[in-house]
Amino acid sequence: MLQTEATTALLRLAWICPYFPWPLNSGGRLRIHHLASGLAGHELLLFAYPSPDDAFPDADQLAAPAPFPWSQRRCLPADDWRRFDEPGLPSSATRTPSALNEALQSAHAQRPFDAVIIEHSYTAGGLCPPKGVPLILNEHNIESEYHRLRALRTRSLRLGIEYLAWRRFERRTWPRMAAVTAVSAADAAVIGRAGHHQAHVIENAIASDGFEFHLPSTRRSGEVLFLGHLAYEPNILAAKRLALEVLPRLRRRHPHATLTLAGRCPSREVMALAGPGVQVLADPEDVRPLYRRAQVACFPLELGAGTSLKILEPLLCGVPLVATRFATRGWSLTPGTHYTLSERSADLATSLSAVFDAPQRWDSQATSGLAFAKRHTWSQSSTRLAHLVHSVVKSQRGKPAPGRPQHVHRAE
């Protein structure tokens, strides 16, 4: 806990999460864990319900003490939803498990919360927060921007309508928060243009514990590595592109080149890519051995939102990074200095081949990448959030409630 005059008061905080923030195998879970760790000296009550790929804790797990940094955890079933259906709004963003609302109100009645922290705007749709308690929204990405890119890519009218629904929902949600955080200046600007002027940039970062740096000149495995949530559409598309378009071109020049697709919950499409030269590694417990073994990392993303935490990992380990410009969005990375920029599949294969041909040529780039990654630490980001929380609590005390995050049940 930060020892400053502004942050010495012990706070009681409710933290609302639309999935269990463990294990630490995704960017969202890592962000929640590390930002909450910066407030670990306070009383943090986690209210979470499972996502479709979450396993609900058994009785023994629920009886065990809450894992760090949580003081208490309430794991709530997602089988009875409180809905506020309204035309023109995304249905997945206008519902919250009734058990969560009941547990939140009950805990507040026992002892009032100083603030409620909400992960993702879509969690706010059916939420009934305690009256008079300031709400802080931690945006991991701009959902409407993701749907806009999907609509442009497919030229789908249905996806275009979905994009408009998300944009309308966000523009109604953000202004009702006491504060909103964003992962990048670009995302903060979107929030600001929507009429909310308290968008605070709290960047994603990396925890360097256990990662080992090895220069590219020492790497000779012939292995290309791609890491990500393999049930997420942008990562599925990237994995298919690597296996079906990039790797065959690379193997014409380097017949022994291999591709490892690693990440949680691989979709059937991704599992079907396994074969000669392609390994699909589901739910790795530890990614550090993968980076020690890889000769190069490749991230050919063309779709997504927010920023990708996985971009920093190869830089921290000295693994040469070949990526599209979109994959590095939100990071001030310089092509040629920190990574190799390639867009077309043929160019990606050429860049990968160049790393295999003369890995020592990437030693300087790896050293620059390491310096960049070390400048982005979770301690800095968690400090910013801690200061923001204290500032919001201090400014909101004695003021009227900022309002519910999403009044879809009221006429405006």
Segments making up each domain of the chain, as ranges: 5-205+377-396, 216-374
Out of 3.30.230.70, 3.40.50.2000, 3.40.50.2020, 3.30.470.20, the CATH code matching 216-374 is 3.40.50.2000
Residue 1: pLDDT above 80? no
How high is the pLDDT of residue 230?
Answer: 95
Query: Where are the strands (E) in 328-387, listed by range?
Result: 340-341
Give the CB-side neighbour count of residue 134, counting CA atoms within 13 A.
20
Residue 301: pLDDT above 60? yes
Residues 259-298: tens digit of each pLDDT: 999 999 999 999 999 999 999 999 998 999 999 999 999 9
Sign of CA dihedral 26, 29, 33, 34: positive
How high is the pLDDT of residue 403?
Answer: 41
Measured CA angle at 307 (ends 304, 311), to 5 deg: 105
What is the distance between the alpha carbons of residues 340 and 321, in angstroms, rounded to a whole number?
Answer: 6
The whole-number average pLDDT for the span 64-77 is: 93
Residue 402: pLDDT above 70? no
What Å distances lie between residue 388 and 176, 185, 200, 287, 408, CA to CA?
A: 17, 17, 8, 32, 28
Give the H/E segment covering residue 144: helix 143-154
How high is the pLDDT of residue 54?
Answer: 86
Residue 299: pLDDT above 50? yes
pLDDT band at 130 (very low <50, low <70, confident <90, very high): very high
DSSP per residue over 280-317, as a string?
EEES-S-SHHHHHH-SEEEE---S--S--GGGHHHHHH
pLDDT band at 381 (very low <50, low <70, confident <90, very high): very high
24/94: higher pLDDT: 24
Instruction: Work out the burial of residue 96: count CB atoms within 10 Å of its CB; fewer than 13 is exposed, 13-18 middle, 19 or more buried.
Output: buried
Helices 378-396 + 27-37 axis angle, to 10? 60
Residue 179's Cα: distance from chain center in Å? 19
pLDDT band at 164 (very low <50, low <70, confident <90, very high): very high
Same fold, 5-205+377-396 and 216-374: yes
Residues 171-207: tens digit of each pLDDT: 999 999 999 999 999 999 999 988 766 799 999 999 8
Residue 399: pLDDT above 80? no
Residue 70: pLDDT above 60? yes
The whole-number average pLDDT for the span 43-48 is: 97
Of all residues in the chain, the percent with pLDDT exceeding 70 is 92
Does the model's pTM come out above 0.75? yes
Beta bridge partners of 281: 262
Residue 9: pLDDT above 50? yes
What is the distance between the alpha carbons of residues 351 and 1, in angstroms, rounded to a whole number?
Answer: 45
Domain 5-205+377-396 CATH superfamily? Glycogen Phosphorylase B; (3.40.50.2000)
pLDDT band at 306 (very low <50, low <70, confident <90, very high): confident
